[in-house]
Structure 1
Amino acid sequence: MLTLKHFVLQKEVLNLYRQVIRASRSIPDPSTRSETVAWFRSEIERDRHLTDISVIESKINAILRELRQVLRVS
């Protein structure tokens, strides 16, 4: 059963994925762009089963850090 916090985190993950897709538009090479989006998606999908709120939050923060690194490089 999902708690309210789980629901909020689920929406946060969806918004994060949308951010990744929008940010990937700045990557000029189409194959690199699709690989980047696929990599972020696999990171999100891999942790789909998690239920511990603190672990979910730390995973979201890790993905945000990785997204910032990708944006700085491109």
Structure 2
Amino acid sequence: MGGLTLKHFILKHRVLNLYRQAIRSVRSIPDPQARKETVAWIRAEFERNKHLTDVPTIEDRLASGRRDLRRILPTMHLSNSRS
């Protein structure tokens, strides 16, 4: 854990909160296959970025993740409710 700062610790907490929020949001997707694919996509995105250590990059990815979550999940809810 050498080299990690208090800022890294705080960002790790924020990343975990975003992950939990994203997974909880997926529960409301009515189609089981769409729900499964969305969870897989979320996990893949977090896995892809788990080795980042640069604070500005982590902060940027967090902001991007929040935007994606707000933009993508409501779209899926609307498209599934029309089916």
Structure 1: stretches of 5+ with no match in the other structure: none
- The alpha carbon displacement at 1:13 in A equals 0.7
Q: Which has the larger radius of gyration?
A: 2
TM-score where L is the length of structure 1: 0.92
How large is the Cα RMSD of the aligned pairs?
Answer: 0.9
What are the superposed Cα offsets for residues 11-66 of structure 1, whole Å, 9 maximum, x if unpaired?
Answer: 11111110011100111111111111111111111111111100001101111111
Moved over 4 A (4+): none
Secondary structure at the counterpart of residue 49 of structure 1 = coil
Aligned length: 74
Cα distance in 1 between the residues matched to 2:72 and 2:29: 9
Cα distance in 2 between the residues matched to 1:71 and 1:49: 26
Q: Equivalent pairs: percent with the same residue? A: 57
